[in-house]
A and B are shown apart, each in its own frame.
Chain A
Amino acid sequence: DADVTQTPRNRITKTGKRIMLECSQTKGHDRMYWYRQDPGLGLRLIYYSFDVKDINKGEISDGYSVSRQAQAKFSLSLESAIPNQTALYFCATSDISGGGDTQYFGPGTRLTVL
């Protein structure tokens, strides 16, 4: 089984709809991250969380919110989706206790907003 899972894998929605993307991990890591990928722009950080009570905005948090329901679960919400939020979204986890800051990525959710 995959260590980092994301649901759904694909989603098509309409402008103005509320959408939630979910991420679960079995790696036991404290840190979790949400990125979006756009062609030619690489991955950009939306939100990150160091633990259940520590949530921080990334560089492109406007229009998004998150919830860290447990150590293993980190959800991303689009309260009112707009077409320029069409992108590939990745969840990642890391455990820097051993040094190195390596992040482990889920398979991604492809979101299309019409």
Chain B
Amino acid sequence: AQSVTQLGSHVSVSEGALVLLRCNYSSSVPPYLFWYVQYPNQGLQLLLKYTSAATLVKGINGFEAEFKKSETSFHLTKPSAHMSDAAEYFCAVSDRGSSNTGKLIFGQGTTLQVKP
């Protein structure tokens, strides 16, 4: 069975600083991995996804994530934080085992605070 763990429920950075949000996964099959962002009072928006092609994935708004099989990690980074990046971020893995339901298994979320 697949699972996702996000390390740190709250992360605070200064504007212009590096953003690093951590995600580790467990999967018995080659995973498809996703990062979603949720702005206040909105639904989830796809930031980026890994589907077994390039291990460094670039997404929207300057975010990127690197798939590291040896570390079972898929950490999200952005070189320079903007105030507009303040939101909740979710890492997810797709159920692609024998049942192949396509359902997403989510981590518990990380709230990013950006300080001026």
Contacts and interface: CB of A to CB of B under 8 A. Distances in A.
B104 interface: yes
Interface stretch (B12-20, B63-71, B74-82, B94-102): B94-102
Interface residues of B, number: 22
Contact of B44 (A41, A44, A45, A90): A90
A101 to B, nearest CB: 4
A103 B93 CA distance: 11
Nearest to B108: A42
B103 to A, nearest CB: 5
Given A41-B108, A42-B107, A100-B51, A94 B102 contact: yes
Interface residues of A, number: 27
Nearest to A39: B109
Interface stretch (A12-20, A62-70, A105-113): A105-113
Nearest to B96: A101
B103 A102 contact: no
A100 B32 contact: yes
Interface in B35-92: 36, 42-46, 49, 51, 90
Interface in A76-97: 90, 92, 94, 96
B43 A42 contact: no
A74 interface: no
A92 B36 CA distance: 13
Given A58-B103, A108-B43, A102 B108 contact: no
Contacts of A103: 46, 102, 104
A35 B106 CA distance: 10
A87 to B, nearest CB: 14
B32 A48 contact: no
A105 B43 contact: yes
B46 A102 contact: yes
Interface in A17-45: 31, 33, 35, 40-45
Contacts of B96: 101
What 3 A-B pairs have minimum CB-CB distances, sorted nearest first? A42-B106, A101-B94, A105-B43
